Amino acid sequence: MKMNYTKQGDYLLPNLTAKNENIDNKINQYGILRLQFIKANKKAFYTSKLMNNELQNHLISVSKICEERYKIIMNNFIKNDEKLSEKNKELNPIEWTKLMNNYKSMAEEIVLNECVFV
């Protein structure tokens, strides 16, 4: 692997860039949040992944894991709560929507704390 350097003052700094291989379609909101988190809080991890060209794969895997975890949590909430049935949805749609939004917020918070902000 050949590294290119840019001279800034008396120092040679490596040109670290991620390859743009149409990654926007593969990385979802969780991947973007993970990228922002590791850039701000885990600089050594971020730099090593970037230098080894593994950052994109890491973000894609985090995106997939988070999406799967979110679906599992939501399915468990829906299965275990009788208030989220289709019958209740027709009888009291406002209450059903409130409850569903509450569960979505809880599931997203769980996913963020378990997978993204680690």
In a structure prediction context, what are the per-residue pLDDT tens digits for the chain, which is 118 residues long? 678 889 999 998 888 776 655 545 689 999 999 999 999 999 999 999 999 989 999 999 999 999 999 999 999 999 998 888 888 889 999 999 999 999 999 999 999 999 999 8
Residue 20 confidence (pLDDT): 58
The CB density around residue 66, as the number of other CB atoms within 10 Å, is: 22
Q: Report how far residue 63's alpha carbon sits from residue 115's, in angstroms, rounded to the nearest whole number.
A: 9
Residue 56 confidence (pLDDT): 93
Residue 98 confidence (pLDDT): 95
Residue 83 confidence (pLDDT): 87
Class of residue 84 by CB neighbours under 10 A (exposed 0-12, middle 13-18, buried 19+): middle
**Closest alpha carbon to 112 in 46, 39, 33:** 33
Residue 21 confidence (pLDDT): 56
